[in-house]
Amino acid sequence: MADSNFPGWHGTTIIGVRKGDEVVIAGDGQVSLGQTVIKGSARKVRRLSPGGHAVVAGFAGSTADAFTLLERLEKKLEATPGQLQRASVELAKDWRTDKHLQKLEAMLIVTDGRELYVITGAGDVLEPEHGIAAIGSGGMYALAAARALIDGEHDAETIARRAMAIAADICVYTNGNLTVERISR
């Protein structure tokens, strides 16, 4: 675990919502150190295009660690074009077994518009139920809100934005400054 003298990083809420032929990943912009907001406009959702195949990824946790994982994921996707599941499993295996990667503190939500996964350092590649995935300190608030909205008339982006607004109202480590990326099947 982290050094007890260090106040620790908190923050980030990332949500992925699949509805119809569309998947949206949204993330807030807040970065906190202890009780202090360091930055309110961080961009934690990225569009990747390895080998011409579009993938959207959102991350929670240490930014440097997340960038390391995103770079690794891009390499895996280049080696297995159009196979997000395979690339995600390969990344999770490396993350779990490589002694340097094991220390990385981050989580990812990834999608290619067809598949939606949460990738963790425990070696998990999770396909969420109900087409909704959420991570980060406000993730469970956003997940609950999106689950309540998913069967209504709203599209994926509206659901993601409303769920993030609810999480930002509840979680002090989440703000309403969103980055939203949309991808279709």
Model confidence pLDDT, tens digit, residues 3-36: 444 344 457 899 999 999 999 999 999 988 888 8
| Cβ atoms of residues 65 and 72 within 8 Å | no
**pLDDT value of residue 114:** 95
Q: Name the DSSP class of 74.
A: H
Task: Identify the CA nearest to 176 among candidates 140, 142, 128.
Answer: 142
Higher pLDDT, 50 or 56: 56
Amino acid letter for position 116: L
Q: How far apart are CA 80 and CA 120, in angstroms?
A: 20
| Cβ atoms of residues 47 and 53 within 8 Å | no
What architecture is the 9-180 domain classified under in CATH? 4-Layer Sandwich (3.60)
Catalytic entry in 12, 13, 80, 174: 12
Mean pLDDT of 143-156: 98
Average model confidence (pLDDT) for the chain? 91
* pLDDT-above-70 percentage for the chain: 94
Q: How far apart are CA 24 and CA 2, in angstroms?
A: 32
Task: Identify the CA nearest to 176 among candidates 160, 164, 162.
Answer: 164
Global pTM value:
0.91
| Cβ atoms of residues 77 and 89 within 8 Å | no
| 12 flagged as catalytic | yes
* pLDDT-above-90 percentage for the chain: 72
Q: How far apart are CA 117 and CA 107, in angstroms?
A: 11
Task: Identify the CA nearest to 140 among candidates 9, 29, 13, 34.
Answer: 13
Q: Where are the domains of the chain?
A: 9-180
Sequence-ordered list of residues with C-beta below 8 angstroms from that of 113, at least 6 positions apart, any chain: 21, 22, 23, 54, 183, 184, 185
**pLDDT value of residue 3:** 45
pLDDT higher than 90, residue 53: no
